[in-house]
A and B are shown apart, each in its own frame.
Chain A
Amino acid sequence: MSIIEVNHLTKYYGKSRGIVDVSFNVEEGEIFGFIGPNGAGKSTTIRLFLSLIYPTKGEAKIFGKDCIKFGPELRQEIGYLPSEVFYYEGMKVLDLLKYSASFYKKDCTQRLHELAELMELDLKRRISDLSYGNKKKVGIVQGLLHSPKLIVLDEPTAGLDPLMQHKFFDLVREENKRGATVFFSSHILGEVQRLCNRVAIIKEGKVIDIQDMKTLQKDNYKKIRVSADGLGEKRFQVEGVTDLQQENGTLSFFFKGDINVITKLVGAAKIADLTIEDLTLEEIFMHYYE
């Protein structure tokens, strides 16, 4: 069963565009990446899932049920971490988390303390005294304390230091192993690459591609760099080679096709150095946005 089904979802804010005719499915157990630059419509899509806003057209179903009609019921099993976190400034962290836990049917006390310890969150402090990174930690704990079946993360790592990011990713993976499906929105490609199985790429309100992470990286281009004496650009002007550049005796290019073609070409020369790499998501991504 698809955990999230999005059908022709469209949202306009007055005349300005939110998202246009977005359709995709997220399957059970996936970590689904949702990537795009600021203003592409990532948050709009997520806010529609949580019925914080209402669609202009189309629908989104979560666990097979319409996310507006069954909103309160569905949200029992959704954990949401917004991109910007704001909590009641006067409250203490523990009180806020208890308030958060009080909305769920199950007892979350133990998980609350586990998570707080894991994220090194001081429960006695007041929300207003917390740094942005610490507020984000509060966000993580309140989003996960009820062990939800669907975790929706909207640019979750902003404000977290690298160590905490690492912990957070481990936590997300753990939750995923437990059986939670994860919807992960980000504009940082590295983290999507590290975490996700599939990724949807959104641009100016439209989903322009949905790809398996492996396919996206492997079946596509290779980045090749060769250093050798007397190696001319002309030699590599074969089918599948793009972006050919020469600098200080080093040739670099992207290649898509049978790799043997390249090894033959390279093998004929006396080479000093050779690297063949997968394209980073970044490079693939730039390709989409050019």
Chain B
Amino acid sequence: MNIYLHEFKAGLRPALIWSASIAALLFVYMSISSSFSQNAAMLSEMLSNFPEELLIAFGMNNMDLASVLGFFGLMFLFCQICLAIQAANYGFGLVSIEENEFTADFLLAKPVSRPRIMTSKLLAALTGLTITNAVVWIGSFVTLAVFRSGEAYELEPLLILLASILPFQLVFLSIGMFISLMVKRVRNVVPFSMGLVFGVYILNVFGDMIGEKSLEVISPFQHFDPNYILAHSAYPSLAWISVAAIVISLAGSYILYARRNIASAV
């Protein structure tokens, strides 16, 4: 409990900053959308003049600009990128930051087992993600209420989409942690998390562009594709791959951490 509280206090401010930024992003995008939706037909025509590849790159193919949820789906993709970076930051930094700053010597010399340290840290990270999650839920309903300009929308697909945030972030958290334990040292978290997030995002886009399914299969952006979820009120079956990745990464992390040699300062 003491480690959890310590980690929670240390992580609260970054979590609040992330949450506020993502909420702001939601608000700004949706405010643009309200002006677009009034000229949906014109916009659709304009977009059809763009090369298909460009639309794919920004997730703007097969979307329904006329409906407010259609626009929400597009905007949600940008949210997903931020959510993924936040989660990957947590994952890559979870145990590596203490090693990098050599405070691991302090913590691991205390009478506490490594699995317990990791569990406490994971729970603290999950708390941070839950805060963000709550803010995105609230932010989504608020912005939709403000900018739907009287248009009704279906609630069910929206709820299913918002429920995908947690597993989506968990994928990046657990994979990030797993990778951080496979390498000798993570000197700086940000390049790793950016690499992971944009890596799989681009994979998804490329897969879509060249019609290569195998590339999409490994991208969580495909597993939790907002346009698909909103259109079908269900997750793509590929989402199971993400769930499997979470389980494998978590189990692997526990195993690797229990065996890890902690580098000393000198």
Q: Is B51 an interface residue (CB 8 A)?
A: no
Q: Within the complex, which residue of B2, B10, B101, B259 is in contact with A103, where a contact is CB–CB below 8 Å?
A: B2
In the complex, what distance in Å separates the CA atom of A82 from the CA atom of B110?
13
Q: Which residues of A contact B2 (CB under 8 A)?
A: 99, 102-103
**Chain A 65-81: CB-based contact to B (< 8 A → 1; otherwise 0):** 00000011111101010
A48: nearest chain-B partner, CB-CB: B261
Q: Is B185 an interface residue (CB 8 A)?
A: no
**Chain B 103-125: CB-based contact to A (< 8 A → 1; otherwise 0):** 11110111111001000000000
Q: Is B237 an interface residue (CB 8 A)?
A: no
CB <8 Å contact, A87 and B266: no
Q: Which residues of B contact A80 (CB under 8 A)?
A: 109
B265: nearest chain-A partner, CB-CB: A84
Q: Within the complex, which residue of B6, B10, B109, B113 is in contact with A78, where a contact is CB–CB below 8 Å?
A: B109
Number of chain B interface residues as a range? 20 to 34
Q: Is B240 an interface residue (CB 8 A)?
A: no
CB <8 Å contact, B261 and A13: yes
Q: Is A250 an interface residue (CB 8 A)?
A: no
In the complex, what distance in Å separates the CA atom of A90 from the CA atom of B7?
12
CB <8 Å contact, B112 and A103: yes
B102: nearest chain-A partner, CB-CB: A86
State which residues 37-80 of A face B: CB under 8 Å. Answer: 43, 47, 50-54, 71-76, 78, 80
Q: Within the complex, which residue of A53, A72, A74, A142 is in contact with B262, where a contact is CB–CB below 8 Å?
A: A53
Q: Which residues of B contact A75 (CB under 8 A)?
A: 109-112
B residues within 8 Å of A by Cβ?
A: 2, 6, 10, 101-106, 108-113, 116, 259, 261-262, 264-266
Contacts A75-B111, A78-B109, A82-B105; is A99 near B6 (CB within 8 Å)? yes
Minimum C-beta distance from A194 to chain B (A) = 24
In the complex, what distance in Å separates the CA atom of A72 from the CA atom of B116?
10
Q: Which residues of B contact A47 (CB under 8 A)?
A: 262, 264
Q: Which residues of B contact A100 (CB under 8 A)?
A: 106, 110
CB <8 Å contact, B266 and A43: yes
Q: Which residues of A contact B109 (CB under 8 A)?
A: 50, 52, 75, 78, 80, 82
Q: Which residues of A contact B110 (CB under 8 A)?
A: 75, 100, 103
In the complex, what distance in Å separates the CA atom of A108 from the CA atom of B213?
60
CB <8 Å contact, A53 and B261: yes
Q: Which residues of B contact A13 (CB under 8 A)?
A: 261
Contacts A80-B109, A82-B106 supplied; 9 other A-B pairs, CB < 8 Å: A13-B261, A53-B262, A54-B259, A75-B111, A82-B105, A82-B264, A84-B102, A84-B264, A86-B265
Contacts A78-B109, A103-B111; is A83 near B266 (CB within 8 Å)? yes
A43: nearest chain-B partner, CB-CB: B264
B107: nearest chain-A partner, CB-CB: A103
Minimum C-beta distance from A199 to chain B (A) = 22
Q: Is A104 an interface residue (CB 8 A)?
A: yes
Q: Which residues of A contact B116 (CB under 8 A)?
A: 72
In the complex, what distance in Å separates the CA atom of A183 from the CA atom of B2?
29
Q: Within the complex, which residue of B103, B262, B265 is in contact with A88, where a contact is CB–CB below 8 Å?
A: B103
